[in-house]
Every structure is written in C-alpha cells, then in structure tokens.
Amino acid sequence: MKNRRDFLRNTFGLGAGLAAAPRLFAAPTQASGESMDMEHMSQATQRSTRIVSVETPDVPQLPWRMAGGAKEFQLVAEPVKQELMPGKIVNLWGYNGRAPGPTIQVNQGDRVRIVVDNHLPEATSMHWHGFEVPSEMDGAPGSSQDAIPPGGRFVYEFTLHQEGTYFYHSHMAMQEMMGMIGAFIMHPKEPYKPRADRDFAIILQEYAILPNITVPNSMNMEFNWLAFNGKSGPANTPLIVRHGERVRIRLINLGMDHHPIHLHGHQFVVTGTEGGRQPESTWGPGNTVLVGVAQSRDVEFVANNPGDWMLHCHLPHHMMNQMSSMVGPMSRRRDGTPGGLDMERGMGMLRQGSATSEENGPSLGRGMGVGSTAEQRVSNSPLKARNPLQHQDMPGMQRGMQMGEPEGSKDANSVPGFPQDAFMEGSMMAMDRMVDKPENFGLRPGWSGFMAGMMTFVRVLPPDKYDQIMELRKKQEGNKPMKMDMPGMEHKHE
C-alpha cells in the first residue's frame, strides 16, 4: 500500500473485492437448494443483492425449518466431548454435541422459534444476549422464567428487528464457563456498505483444565486451554480468503478474560459491536481489538497483502496450550524449586483455609502432579541433546507428530529463566501431519510448532492457491457424508 489514500480506499471499502462470494446467504427465501441456484447468478447481481453467509470455522451451522410462520431451530443443552487438539479430548457442556454450540443465522425481521431441550443433570436457561425481545423471552432464570429443569424444554419465540453479531448462552454462570455459548448472526435487511466478500465468526473461550483431568475447573482463574471456536492452535481451521477480498471477522467473547485479538499484515476497522453496526464515522485503523467479556467486535479489512497471517490473542499466556505456571523452570532449575501443592489441593479441593488464603492462593492449580508437595524441592532434568521420544514406532509419530532436536543452546540449562515455556514452543513440537486438512495445505513445514492457544491464520491467497485449497476441500467433502444436509439448511459448502 503506497499511501494513506490507498489505505483509506482499501480499508474503508472503496476498493472492490476480486472475487464473488463463494457462499451465499439466501436472504429472502428459505427453500433448501436455493443457494445452489443462486451460485449461477451473475457475479454482479450477487454482489449487489446478496449477503454472504457467515462461516464459523470448526463449528457447524444450525439448520432450521419453517413451522407456523417462524424459522424453527432446535438446541439441546448437554454434556459434550470436545477435542481441543489431537488427543486432548475434554468434557464440556455445550449444545447439540459441541462447545461452542452451532451457529444460528437469521435475517433482520425474521420470526424465530428456538426449542431448547435440557439434557444436563441440572437446570439451565437460555439467554439471548443483547436481543430486544419481550422480557418473558429473555431467558433470565428466576426473573423472566423458571429455569428449565433437567429433562425439561422451553420454547422461545420472538421477532428480530436488530442486525449484527449476537450470541446465545446459558444464563447460569458456571455453565458459561463449561462452554455453553453459540453465535447468533442477524443479517441486515440492507447489506452493509461496503459489502464484505467473506464473513467469519470466532468465539473466544478459555478453560482451566488441570493435569490428569478432563473437566474444566470453573473455580480456577488460571486458564491453560484457550480456544477459537472450540479448537486450540494448531488444531483450528485457518480462514481462507482470496487476495483482494474484503473480509469481516466477528469476534465473540464470553468468559473470564478479555482478549486483545491481533491480526498480522493488515490494518482493520471495527465496524460493529455486540449492539450491531457502528456508524462509519467511528471507524479508525488498528490491528488489535480488545474483545471484552460479554462483547462482540466486528472487524473489516481488505485482504491486500498475500501471505499466511497470524490472527491471535496477544496475551502471552493465551498463546499456549496446557499452560502450567512455572513448570518449565521448575523442571530444569539446578537448585530445585518448590513443587507446588499436591494434586487434590491443586485442583481446589481444600482441606483447610480458603482458596484465596496466603497458604493456598498462590499455589492453586499449580501443582506438578501426583506426589509433589509445596515442601518438596523438585529436581532437575537437564535438557537432552536428543529427545527420547524420537522413535518412529511411537503412536504419536505414526499420527504425524514431528519430534525434532530441541532448539536450545549448549549452555541453555545454566541460563536463569530457561526454559520459560514447559514445552518450548518451536519446531520440536510441530505436528503438521496430525492436524492436516485442506485449509493447511501449503503452509511452511513445521508451522504447527508455533501455533497454540487462541491462534489461527488468515491465509490471503493468490487465485491459483485459493482454488487449489477449495478443490481439496471439495474432494474431502465428497469423501464423507454431508453433515448438514437437513431441511432448511441454506448454507452449503462449496
């Protein structure tokens, strides 16, 4: 980009996208198959009259059917197993088999009915965050309705006059921390100007899942698993865009932490909040947007810089997986270091005192595991020149884990502070093949060793590479049964 004028033209949308949107949101109709027909329409017509469907990488769309004059959706609140990354399967609570739950997309003005069934072992309630609906449909347990008992059902129905990036979530605080949220996109009657060629949504979540347990500790404030759409890097699916397209990314946060989300290689403008579209007069350039708890932020930019660009939370602890404080230095320090509390107390099962007491507070959740105590010094395990796991016959190797030489200097173990990360992020931890998928095709070998936590790519691709990945995606989808071919499903993958 040569100058500020170019910047304004590109970012504020006076520049045009190079390609027609690959997926269309069939705004005025609901017949399934409609979106296929529309793909044959001329690009010009598409661009002027159609709004692109929102893609939620790694999260399915929730299908609907017309019933009694409303778009009817079904959500089941239930315990789910979610694979954060290969081999890391955790027990969360979510909707329709996953956390976050499926994405709902409707049009401004729609009459919507959502049937919520509670398959949890306790009561729940569904809140429609930011919706201007009658109070008895607000989902606030106790005040606007009775909580939905286990095995119970509540039918929500309302007409939506708003537009923007909204979400649904359980209104039980601890259930929120177990994953119970989903995106709810309201497409505007009149397409936003400038029109986006690609539209993505990402839900930000964090969990404290201590070693040797699969259930988040919703009391713990030290989060060690950070996820975009229920996947931690490098397991999440990159956002694939064509060079020159105008891109919108909708970021949604409902957890215990705020997340400064940073995009490499581009400047963007914030065009919307959890309250809908912002007036253009408020847009100013940036590359990091703080998405606070209970907020959503829409950012838009023209993907004018080809490359594989990181999109990530910039809190350092949120760029890690299985983050356990001090485990690195603990395990390598020559003089030994306190091992932390034992497993039981580390998980917050207190025997005495409160969680925030002087004795317990600093150590909660930080234990090294079975057998370690706060009194015991932990011995060192010097960095080996060659990793013992480097055997081709290990199951991980067969699944594509690449254990290379550790990248430390010869005297690394004598340097105070080394290593800062328990796992030493780097090519040693690469697992390219383990997370292989069309969207990762062509990334630099070893890329996955540097992706963790709330981290993914926006891949701005020249047309030939873009087409190649779309071709691979099509092939892959041809090889497995369609997951989402239910009636009323208006979003089709290419």
On the CB side of 31, CA atoms within 13 Å amount to 5
Task: Give the residue with the Cβ less far from Cu ion, 13 or 453.
Answer: 453
CA distance 106 to 186: 5
CB of 292 to Cu ion, least distance (A): 11
Task: Give the residue with the Cβ less far from Cu ion, 292 or 462.
Answer: 292
Pick the piece of the chain touching Cu ion (CB under 5 A) from 94-102, 286-294, 307-315, 384-392. 307-315
Task: Give the residue with the Cβ less far from Cu ion, 104 or 452.
Answer: 452
The footprint of Cu ion on this chain (CB under 5 A) covers a number of residues equal to 4
Task: Give the residue with the Cβ less far from Cu ion, 234 or 340.
Answer: 234
Task: Give the residue with the Cβ less far from Cu ion, 50 or 318.
Answer: 318
Task: Give the residue with the Cβ less far from Cu ion, 187 or 318.
Answer: 318
> Mapping DSSP to helix (H, G, I), strand (E, B) and coil, where does residue 341 land?
coil
On the CB side of 131, CA atoms within 13 Å amount to 30
Pick the piece of the chain touching Cu ion (CB under 5 A) from 32-40, 305-313, 323-331, 419-427. 305-313
Which of 99, 203, 313, 434 is the binder for Cu ion (CB under 5 A)? 313
Give the total residue count for the chain. 494
> Mapping DSSP to helix (H, G, I), strand (E, B) and coil, where does residue 331 land?
helix
Task: Give the residue with the Cβ less far from Cu ion, 204 or 460.
Answer: 204
CB of 447 to Cu ion, least distance (A): 21
Q: How far is the CA of 389 from the CAs of 87, 217, 290, 428, 450, in angstroms?
A: 16, 30, 40, 11, 19
CB of 454 to Cu ion, least distance (A): 5
Q: How far is the CA of 452 from the CAs of 103, 241, 295, 327, 328, in angstroms?
A: 24, 22, 23, 17, 17
User: Which one, of 291, 297, 247, lies nearest residue 273 by Cα?
Assistant: 297
Which of 185, 240, 269, 315 is the binder for Cu ion (CB under 5 A)? 315
CA distance 22 to 39: 8
Render the burial of 253-271: b for 16+ CB within 10 Å, e for the rest.
bbbebebebebebbbbbbb
CB of 259 to Cu ion, least distance (A): 3
- Pattern 317-356, binding to Cu ion, x per CB under 5 A? -x--------------------------------------
CB atoms under 10 Å from CB of 22, counted, come to 19
Contact by Cβ (8 Å): 490, 35: yes
Task: Give the residue with the Cβ less far from Cu ion, 299 or 315.
Answer: 315
CB of 40 to Cu ion, least distance (A): 43
Which of 248, 259, 312, 345 is the binder for Cu ion (CB under 5 A)? 259
- In the chain, the amino acid numbered 36 is M
CA distance 394 to 109: 56
CB of 102 to Cu ion, least distance (A): 24
Residue 297 in the binding site for Cu ion (CB under 5 A): no
Pick the piece of the chain touching Cu ion (CB under 5 A) from 25-33, 130-138, 258-266, 433-441. 258-266
Both structure tokens of 490: 């208006």
Please list every residue from 375 through 404 that binds Cu ion, using CB under 5 A.
none
Give residue for tokens 């709902």.
104
Pick the piece of the chain touching Cu ion (CB under 5 A) from 186-194, 232-240, 254-262, 286-294. 254-262
Pick the piece of the chain touching Cu ion (CB under 5 A) from 190-198, 256-264, 439-447, 466-474. 256-264
Q: How far is the CA of 280 from the CAs of 10, 236, 303, 354, in angstroms?
A: 14, 32, 19, 50
Pairing mode, strands 246-253 and 198-207: parallel
Contact by Cβ (8 Å): 181, 168: yes
Cis peptide, bond prior to residue 260, ω within 30 of zero: no
CB of 341 to Cu ion, least distance (A): 26
CB of 257 to Cu ion, least distance (A): 6
Residue 312 in the binding site for Cu ion (CB under 5 A): no
The C-alpha angle 443, 445, 450, rounded to 5 degrees, equals 85
CB of 253 to Cu ion, least distance (A): 9
Task: Give the residue with the Cβ less far from Cu ion, 14 or 293.
Answer: 293
Residues near Cu ion (CB under 5 A) are 259, 313, 315, 318
